[in-house]
Amino acid sequence: MQEPCVQSQTGRSLLEMRQLLLDHFGPQEWWPGETPLEVMVGAVLTQNTNWTNVEKAIQNLKAEDLLSLKALNAMSTQALAEAIRPAGYFNVKAKRLKNLVRFVFERYSGSLDELSNEAIESLRQGLLSVNGVGPETADSILLYALERPVFVVDTYTHRILLRHGMADEQMAYHELQEVFVDHLPEDLDLFNEFHALIVRAGKEYCKKRPLCSDCPLCKWEGGPVLQ
DNA sequence: CACCAGGCAAGTA
DNA sequence: TACTTGCATGGT
């Protein structure tokens, strides 16, 4: 059995790490041509769920013309659950989506444009107050739907930092986030692309079971270290 | 067959 | 506070 992709730690930066991933995978162009609402819905549906399953659920919503704030707000939770069934946890996620849509109506008159005018910190607090929206979902919405420079942390992020000696097992979400925020320029496109590259690398190489034969980070002599 | 996937909230001690 | 469990489909 192969060792986990832990490498030595000599003098590389997060920016170099991102460049390496970019050279290897190319631009990821995550969530490019979709509407903000579609991104928000996707952010909830993808909680602990493979993206291909999420796409099926979103296609169902589109096919029935249900992918609008108005339609989502009007329909029953049960009907919504049925439509998003392929995404898994459909009863829970139907409630979460209804909570999120209700939040947009109650605070912003059902207008994402109005919501977009909100300052980033109060917006994040508001999103987190919605039952079913945790830190990753909130930050995914801020970054990918609302184009705010917020770094998104997920299980892959934690795992990759762990394997490269840049984090420990019990670090909380905001601590992992600080690792990036404290060592990178605050840049929307950088945060967008870097997170997408981390997920790509995680999916292909940095799984729960060690499997690192071709991992670009693990072939990276020295491994990353914060500077 | 087992295991995993771009989390989160609620329950338990 | 610090674990544990439920939620569920679909792909490998």
Give the integer Cα–Cα distance in Å for A214 and A222: 16
Going A98 to A100 to A105 to A111, the CA torsion angle's sign is: negative
Q: Fill in the DSSP letter of residue A85.
A: G
Contacts of A117 (CB under 8 A, 6+ apart): none
Burial class (CB in 10 A: 0-12, 13-18, 19+), A122: exposed
User: Which residues of A in 115-134 have their CB below 7 Å from strand B's atoms?
Assistant: 130-134
Q: What is the pLDDT of residue A33?
A: 64
Backbone angles phi, psi at A146, to 5 degrees: -105, 0
Q: What is the pLDDT of residue A11?
A: 47
pTM of the predicted structure, to 2 decimals: 0.94
Q: What is the pLDDT of residue A220?
A: 76
In three-state secondary structure terms, A25 is: helix
Contacts of A32 (CB under 8 A, 6+ apart): none
Select from A149, A166, A159 the least CA-distant residue to A205. Answer: A159
Give the integer Cα–Cα distance in Å for A105 and A84: 21
Q: What is the pLDDT of residue A224?
A: 64
Nucleotides of B under 7 A from a protein CB: 3-10
Q: What is the pLDDT of residue A213?
A: 61
The parts of chain A modelled with pLDDT lower than 70 are: 1-12, 32-33, 209-213, 221-227
User: Which residues of A in 193-222 have their CB below 7 Å from strand B's atoms?
Assistant: 199, 202-203, 207-209
Protein residue ranges contacting nucleic strand C, Cβ under 7 Å? A 48-50, 52-53, 56, 81, 85-86, 88-93, 170
Q: Are A158 and A136 in contact (CB under 8 A)?
A: no
Q: What is the pLDDT of residue A163?
A: 86
Q: What is the pLDDT of residue A215?
A: 82
